[in-house]
Amino acid sequence: MYKVMLVDDDFPVIEMLSEMIEWEQLGVTLHSTHENGRSAFEKASEEMPDILITDIGMPRMNGIELTKQLKEINPNLQVVILSCHTEFKFAKQALNLRVQDYLVKDMLDSEEFCQVIKKIVENLEKQKKKDLKQIEFQQMVNGFGWNYTY
């Protein structure tokens, strides 16, 4: 199962998403929750999640900075931004970091949220299959004694 990290300084949001979403049915586990970006970064440095769901405006480290730093470590990290901000400048920052989705909290619907997670899991599965094929190809090439690298 893929690991999800949920980061939001608004505790009711963490509580709602933790309890309302049936994570395992989506093919993921809720690995950890954090109320600020610094705490999330420290945890991710120990054990990187596959999916980061983060607010933008938080104390100690905002969600944009958290995303930027974690993507420097793991460029394949899947990210969903949750925000109260409908202003384009925040969405643009998120797009520049190649996040998978940007959801506005006031319009957050559990069905839409679940669909976003399902889509991310599908993308992770496709990437895993692609990586396995690449490894198999490399082993085959090496088996022929060719020294071929990408």
Supply the pLDDT for residue 140.
Answer: 72
Q: What is the mean pLDDT of residues 125-149?
A: 76
Query: In terms of pLDDT, which residue wins out, 25 or 136?
Result: 25
Mean pLDDT for the stretch of residues 105-134: 90
pTM (2 decimals)?
A: 0.84
pLDDT in the model for residue 143: 65
CA distances from 51 to 72, 74, 86, 103 (A): 15, 11, 22, 15
State mean pLDDT over 41-66: 94
